[in-house]
């Protein structure tokens, strides 16, 4: 299902110890590792190498032009604990003509601490869309609580 949120200022939640910054190509290895570890085996990628290749494809524009002004990485010290990867426009025909979240994931060890909300608050002033599996109730609940609606 495609969910869309219109631009609307939201209060940025504080997450102690977590610092956000835009992603850089140099982060690809850490991102690939977290991407693989954040999902059950085979969901995002079958292997860590496959996950890294997917992240490298993201930086190469394989899913649209990465939007560094909207994408963010969440760091707790030197540990990457979350990522929000947004493209200017998604390349798929069923997606709306607006920035599109291609990935949002957090480290299993840091879930339910507000990191996803913090990451999503970084793009609150922009109309934005994402694809969610309607069976993923926790994710859909989070998105709806932040103003995303089916579209």
Structure tokens at 73: 């990485």
Interatomic CA distance for residues 3 and 142, integer angstroms = 12
- Pairing mode, strands 72-76 and 128-131: unpaired
In the CATH scheme, what architecture does the domain 2-23+66-150 have?
A: 3-Layer(aba) Sandwich (3.40)
Q: Domain boundaries in the chain?
A: 2-23+66-150
Q: Give pLDDT tens digits for 101-119.
A: 999 999 999 888 889 999 9
Q: 87 - beta bridge partners?
A: 66, 100
Q: Give pLDDT tens digits for 39-68.
A: 887 778 888 999 999 999 999 999 999 999
Structure tokens at 70: 């909207």
Structure tokens at 50: 């496959």
Predicted TM-score (pTM) of the model is 0.91
The residue among 6, 15, 42 whose CA lies nearest residue 149 is 6
Spacing of C-alpha 12 from chain mean position? 16
């Amino acid at each position: 299902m495609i969910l869309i949120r219109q631009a609307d200022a939201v209060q940025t939640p504080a997450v102690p110890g977590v610092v956000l910054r835009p992603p850089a190509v140099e982060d690809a290895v850490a991102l690939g590792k977290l991407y693989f570890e954040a999902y059950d085996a085979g969901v995002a990628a079958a292997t860590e190498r496959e996950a890294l290749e997917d992240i490298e494809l993201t930086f190469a524009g394989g899913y649209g032009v990465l939007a560094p002004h909207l994408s963010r990485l969440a760091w707790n010290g030197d540990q990457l604990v979350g990522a929000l990867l947004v493209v200017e426009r998604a390349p798929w025909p069923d997606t709306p003509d607006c920035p599109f979240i291609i990935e949002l994931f957090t480290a299993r060890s840091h879930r339910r601490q507000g990191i996803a909300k913090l990451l999503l608050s970084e793009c609150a002033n922009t109309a934005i869309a994402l694809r969610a599996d309607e069976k993923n109730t926790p994710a859909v609940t989070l998105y709806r609580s932040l103003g995303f609606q089916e579209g």
